[in-house]
Structure 1
Amino acid sequence: MAKKPEILKADETQLQIDELTKFATSVELTAPSRRMLLQSIAAMQETLNKLTRELDLIRLPVSFFDPTEPRLIGHFVALALIAQDRRPLQDIGKAYGSGVYAIYYTGQDEPYAPISGTETPVYVGKADPPANAKSLRDQGTKLTDRLNEHRKNIEKVSGIDAADFECRTLAVQSGYQSSAEIHLIRLFKPIWNNETKILFGLGKHGDAATTRANNKSPWDTLHPGRAWAAANPVAKSAEVILREVSDHFLRSQIFDSTEDVFQAFSEGIKQKDLMNPEPNSKG
């Protein structure tokens, strides 16, 4: 029996894929060529996935929950952090554990008034455990050490008071802190985080003698006081930084309550669990 045209076309396409595979694995690819080839393969995979969904008479479920998916685990670790009680940054002390944390501003000083007393953190971060750490004791005191380091930096500078800061902390199993930090940064866009690219520099350490010419971070420009940064040239004026901070708060969502945060997490989980973001017209 002669094959139908659509089957012949599929056979022809399979032969072309086999030829591509043989060719691509037999030549020396340059980095740009490898990158472009991978992009083309990804596009072909997406096209075939769409075709599969279109031809299959049985629909996929609206969502599929895989609790072992790394990004989803990070999502829930971040959510667990927000469920913790807030504590004064000055009262952290010392405790075992590595993990994630969020720092909140509660004072009235500009430019942080728009987020003062809200559930929008000024900074989020992670403290990585030592290699091969299995237990909390193996992790050492990485989490509280990091927060106490931030507290000491805040105490050194002007324009802010360490008494006006609170924090949440969550010690987590080694390996899950990085994906949780990514979720927290994407959701809150904290003004002090490097990724926001406005008022970064809190976590910066003193420059070595060979790098004294480094520019002063925006954080050190707006909050002078760290001795090692005093002589560094200013890259951006305080006036420009303040304007950028104000614009950021106008553009970004400010979470007034934990209910707002939980709602945002819920919507994020829905999006991540969608099997097929495109409408499926099959009944």
Structure 2
Amino acid sequence: MLTHIPTHLIAGPLGAGKTSLIRHLLAQKPAHERWAVLINEFGQIGLDAALLEQGDDAVAMAEVAGGCLCCVNGAPFQVGLGRLLRKARPDRLLIEPSGLGHPAQLLAQLRQPPWLGVLAVQPALLVLDAQALPEVQREALADAGLLLLNKSAGLDAASRARIAAALPPVPLRWSEHGQLDLAELPGVAAQAATGGVGAGLPTGAASLPQIWRNAAEPICQVQAQAEGWSIGWRWHPSQRFDLASLGQWLQGLDWRRAKAVVHGAAGWRSLNAVQGQALQGWGTSEWRKDSRLELIFAQAHDADALTAAFARCRIDPAG
């Protein structure tokens, strides 16, 4: 097994563009390298791996649901990362923590046993936008290797200067749609070494996936934490959705974050939106395993009412 695997933390608040950045980096992966991506999401369903799906066998992905500090310090995160490293044996590892997570503590943990000698943690890359930065994210600014100021197309020179002056003296890049040359990724020149420390990685039994009792009924999971309330659904792949109806329903809700991969009339489509933004339309998706939607709210909502409304967006609601 490889040791001292170059490890890159891609952090930032909800909706800043972390997933878009990772998609751009994966598109630039050298053909001879094998990469792994670990995603620590706030919600329980897990959408980012589906959104990043490219059909590339040289990229392994894993998700750890429930993106809070307790999960990062606990068994699910430890076992999930250990299992991914054993399975993928990657030349490079990307980690995307939840936008509601604690990147500074995660960086500290990754530099301690059992990861010492296994991972070579590089300076973090923080993806920021014009929104106010939560305190748990600000803690990681000073030690970052690069700040990527995303969604910056509409900012004039004076606005950019004002924003830069409020940030620590860390390398800064302005970007749109999370675009960044791989050569600018902090620590990209680092290479993994060959070793035999895999036996010391955390282990645990793989969790069994939930299965559908009825193809016409979704698997629904709800999570309530101090940082917010999330609800997610997984529908059998045979169920198809009317994207216009689904978009209209979503526009009427007060979510902070919305991510989806769904089977529509014209194929599989994806959505990745943040509060206050108009839905920009549906992108294509390589995901085929199931239809998924995850919503994050500031306050708890009626889960049954949301599920019923989502179900009515199917092309054949009676099916």
The answer to whether the superposition gives a TM-score over 0.5 is no
Task: Answer 1 or 2: which has greater strand percent.
Answer: 2
Higher helix share: 1
- Please, what TM-score do these two structures have when normalized by structure 2? 0.24
Greater gyration radius: 1
